[in-house]
Structures are given as structure tokens and as C-alpha cells.
A = this chain, B = another copy of it.
Amino acid sequence: MLQSPLIESLIEAFRVLPGVGPKSAQRMAYHLLQRNKSGGAKLASVLSDAIEKIGHCSLCRTLTEEPTCHICASERRAIGELCIVESPSDVQVIEQSGIFAGQYFVLMGHLSPIDGIGPQQIGLDLLELRLQQGDIKELIVAMNASVESEATAHYIQQLAAQNSVVVSRLAQGIPMGGELEYLDSGTLSQAFLARKQLID
């Protein structure tokens, strides 16, 4: 044992954070203990509070301390458009863009049979019930560009078809300000395949 058991436990506890190895965990522990005890106390108390109180929105599944999140609870959102995303951070980034005024459905992951994550684990039974209610006119699938996300999108597309709901996917292609020479070939191929004819 090289140092106090409590400091060792604290360093170990910081390892639960994503991307935090032994060295950064140690730096975090020492930093709070040496330089910012009040910040550390605040973090401990807010974290404990959040772990206890934050659960899932009963309508869209996103993280919230209320029974229903503020987007689902808002009367100003269009109820005919439902945007399907994988995580609460995706909701954040779409809200920041201001481009979408409908509601969301947050999968909190994607299908991954190898990890035991089937349709129910990502709330697709809940989504199906919602489609059956008939309010949704268009499902906008805004998933990441991975193989698992693709499979999940395909599953959702079938679900929508069974309930006669229109499905769209976000357009794929060259990002704003993107330079051709730095694009990966996958993106470039997509951009070619989805090219649009110009009309003068």
C-alpha cells in the first residue's frame, strides 16, 4: 500500500468515468483534495442527488428527474413528427440546431443481440404502442452511422411500415465546410449516391 486507503478508494472510484485511466483518476483525486474541496463536495452532493432522482421520461425515455421530460410536456411541440435518436446527447445537439420542432423518442442505445440488447431493451415496444395510437405522421430516424445503428434503423422502418407511418432518414453527405480531400471514402460514396440534379 503506497498511500492512504481512502485516497486509493477515491482514485479507484474515479475510474468509473469514461476515458479516465489510473493517472487521470489520481490527478482528479489530488486536485479536489488539494485545491478544490468545496467543488469536490458540490460534485459529490449533486452526483448523489442525480443518481437518486434521475430516471427515464415515460413518453420518450430520455433522462429526466420529472415523470415526463420538458420537451414531451411542452404544448408547443408538433406532435405529428417523431425523431428517433440513440441518446440524450443527440436530442441536445438537434435542439441546439433549432431545425426540429416535433417530439423525440430516445432509444438509449441500439440493437445489439450479442450484448442481449433486443427491441424491448431499447423501448421499441413502447414506440410501437405510440405508432398504433395514430398521432404520428412521420418518423425521422436520426441514428449514428454504424452497423448496429443501421440494423436498428431497419427494424424501426419495418415497424413504421406495419403501422402505415412515413419514415425518413437524415441525408448523408458532405458536411458544411467539409473539404473533399479530408473526407473518408464512405461519406464520399454516400455523397455521390445521394447526389441531386441541379435545375436552372
Contacts and interface: CB of A to CB of B under 8 A. Distances in A.
Interface of A: 1-7, 9-10, 13-14, 16-19, 24, 26-34, 36-37, 39-54, 63-66, 69-70, 87-89, 91-92, 95-96, 108
B34 A87 contact: yes
Could you say how many copies of this chain the assembly holds? 2
A89 to B, nearest CB: 6
Nearest to A45: B48
Contacts of A36: 16
Contact of A63 (B34, B88, B96): B34
Taking chain A's interface residues, is the majority helix, strand, or loop, or is none over half, making it mixed?
Answer: helix
B96 A26 contact: no
Contact of A69 (B4, B43, B50, B64): B4
A148 to B, nearest CB: 16
Contact of A48 (B29, B48, B70): B48
Contact of A92 (B3, B19, B66, B95): B3
28 contacts: A1-B70, A2-B95, A2-B96, A3-B64, A3-B88, A4-B63, A4-B64, A6-B49, A7-B50, A9-B46, A9-B50, A13-B39, A13-B42, A17-B28, A17-B43, A18-B27, A18-B28, A19-B27, A26-B89, A30-B88, A30-B89, A32-B51, A40-B47, A40-B50, A41-B48, A41-B51, A45-B48, A48-B48
